[in-house]
Amino acid sequence: MTVTVPILRQGSALIASIQEDLCDSDILNLQSRILEDVIRYRANAVIVDVSAIGILDSFGTKTLIEIAHSVKLRGAKMIIVGIQPDVAISMVLLGLTLKDIPTALDLDHGLALIGET
């Protein structure tokens, strides 16, 4: 069963809201669709909303970091919003960081952060 994450447009930003636990191939699929959409819509920002996700393991985090870097290479910036308290704790204990990717509490804060309110 594959899950296709909806990617919405708001102004010049793209919003990808992950609704459920994604398996690895779904995440890879999301990665290529975000990159395509950034080019197609000349987006200057991407918000990935992970508030519905129960865990972010090393593979998920690594892929998010990769997505952020490719988005950056295409001249846009990416932020991650909605990391839940227990997810944040597990990530930190596992040793995962998001490097320099900006984060925000939720979609509202994320939109404010990129100036789309």
Nearest to 91 by CA among 69, 51, 58, 47: 58
Binder of other proteins out of 64, 81, 111, 114 (CB under 8 A): 81
What one-letter code names the amino acid at 20? E
Diameter of the chain by CA atoms? 38
User: Of 8, 24, 42, 73, which one interacts with other proteins (CB under 8 A)?
Assistant: 24
Residue 59 near ligand ATP by CB under 6 A: yes
Q: Indicate the burial class of 20 (C-beta count within 10 angstroms; 0-12, 13-18, 19 or more).
A: exposed
> Using the rule CB under 6 A, is 32 a contact of ligand ATP?
no
The answer to whether 48 touches 16, Cβ cutoff 8 Å, is yes
Q: 31 contacts which partner out of ligand ATP, other proteins, none, CB within 5 to 8 A by kind?
A: none
Please identify which residue in 4, 19, 58, 117 interacts with ligand ATP, judged by CB under 6 A: 58
14, 18, 47, 104: residue in contact with other proteins (rule CB under 8 A): 104
